[in-house]
Copies of this chain bind each other. A is one copy, B any other.
Amino acid sequence: MTVQVPRDFRMAGVYCGVKRNPTRQDLTLVVSDRPAVAAGVYTQNLVFAAPVALDRSRTPGDGFLAVVINSGNANACTGERGLADAREMAGLAAATCGAFGEQALVMSTGVIGEFLPMPKIAAGIAAAAQQLGSDEVALVAAARGIMTTDTVQKLAGRTFVRGLSPFSKGTTAATGHAAVVGEKKGTVPLAADRSIQITGMAKGAAMIGPRMATMLGLILTDAPLTPQSAQQALSAVVDDTFNCISVEGHMSTNDTVLLLANGAAGGEPLAGDDLTAFQEKIHEVCGELARAIPADGEGATHLVMIEVSGCADGESARKIARTIADSPLVKTAIAGGDPNWGRIVSAAGYAGVPFNPRGVELNLNGFLLYRDGAPTAFDAAAVSNSIRAERDTIITLRFSEGEGRVRFWTTDLTAEYVRLNADYHT
A interface residues, Cβ below 8 angstroms from B: 44-48, 74, 76-79, 81, 111-114, 207, 210, 212, 248-253, 326-329, 332-333, 335-343, 345-350, 354-355, 357, 360, 370, 372-375, 380-381, 384, 413-419, 421-426
Whether A426 pairs with B79 at a CB distance below 8 angstroms is no
Chain B min CB distance to A72 (Å) = 14
Whether B338 pairs with A207 at a CB distance below 8 angstroms is no
CB neighbours (8 Å) of A327 from chain B are: 248-250
Complex A-B, nearest 3 residue pairs according to Cβ-Cβ distance, in ascending order: A112-B342, A336-B422, A47-B349
CB neighbours (8 Å) of A249 from chain B are: 326-328
CB neighbours (8 Å) of A357 from chain B are: 46-47
Given that A250-B327, A250-B328, A426-B338 are known contacts, is A350 also in contact with B45, CB under 8 Å in the complex? yes
Whether A332 pairs with B422 at a CB distance below 8 angstroms is yes
Whether A345 pairs with B77 at a CB distance below 8 angstroms is yes
Given that A77-B342, A207-B343 are known contacts, is A335 also in contact with B422, CB under 8 Å in the complex? yes
Whether B77 pairs with A338 at a CB distance below 8 angstroms is no
Whether A374 pairs with B77 at a CB distance below 8 angstroms is yes
Whether A44 pairs with B350 at a CB distance below 8 angstroms is yes
Given that A48-B349, A329-B248, A426-B384 are known contacts, is A76 also in contact with B210, CB under 8 Å in the complex? no
Whether B426 pairs with A381 at a CB distance below 8 angstroms is yes
Chain B min CB distance to A417 (Å) = 7
CB neighbours (8 Å) of A113 from chain B are: 341-342, 370, 374-375
Q: How far is the CA of A128 from the CA of B415 in the complex (A)?
A: 41
What are 12 A-B contacts with C-beta separation under 8 Å?
A47-B357, A77-B342, A77-B374, A77-B375, A81-B374, A113-B375, A328-B413, A332-B418, A336-B423, A338-B425, A384-B426, A418-B418
- Whose C-beta in chain B lies nearest to the C-beta of A45? B349
Number of copies: 2
CB neighbours (8 Å) of A416 from chain B are: 415
Q: How far is the CA of A343 from the CA of B45 in the complex (A)?
A: 12
Q: How far is the CA of A419 from the CA of B346 in the complex (A)?
A: 21
Which residue of B77, B81, B346, B421 contacts A332 across the interface (Cβ within 8 Å)?
B421
Chain B min CB distance to A229 (Å) = 30
Chain B min CB distance to A384 (Å) = 6
Q: How far is the CA of A414 from the CA of B183 in the complex (A)?
A: 65
Given that A346-B252, A346-B253, A426-B339 are known contacts, is A77 also in contact with B328, CB under 8 Å in the complex? no
CB neighbours (8 Å) of A251 from chain B are: 346, 349-350
- Whose C-beta in chain B lies nearest to the C-beta of A379? B426
CB neighbours (8 Å) of A425 from chain B are: 333, 338, 340
Chain B min CB distance to A387 (Å) = 10
- Whose C-beta in chain B lies nearest to the C-beta of A328? B248
- Whose C-beta in chain B lies nearest to the C-beta of A339? B426
Whether A423 pairs with B354 at a CB distance below 8 angstroms is no
CB neighbours (8 Å) of A419 from chain B are: 415
Whether B79 pairs with A335 at a CB distance below 8 angstroms is no
Whether A210 pairs with B77 at a CB distance below 8 angstroms is no
Whether A250 pairs with B47 at a CB distance below 8 angstroms is no
CB neighbours (8 Å) of A45 from chain B are: 346, 349-350
Whether A338 pairs with B418 at a CB distance below 8 angstroms is no
CB neighbours (8 Å) of A46 from chain B are: 348-350, 354-355, 357
Q: Quick one: which of A329, A355, A417 has the most chain B CB within 10 A?
A: A329
Whether B77 pairs with A47 at a CB distance below 8 angstroms is no
Q: How far is the CA of A320 from the CA of B406 in the complex (A)?
A: 28
Other A-B pairs, 8, CB within 8 Å; known A47-B345, A207-B329, A250-B346? A210-B340, A251-B350, A253-B346, A333-B422, A336-B423, A337-B424, A338-B424, A414-B418
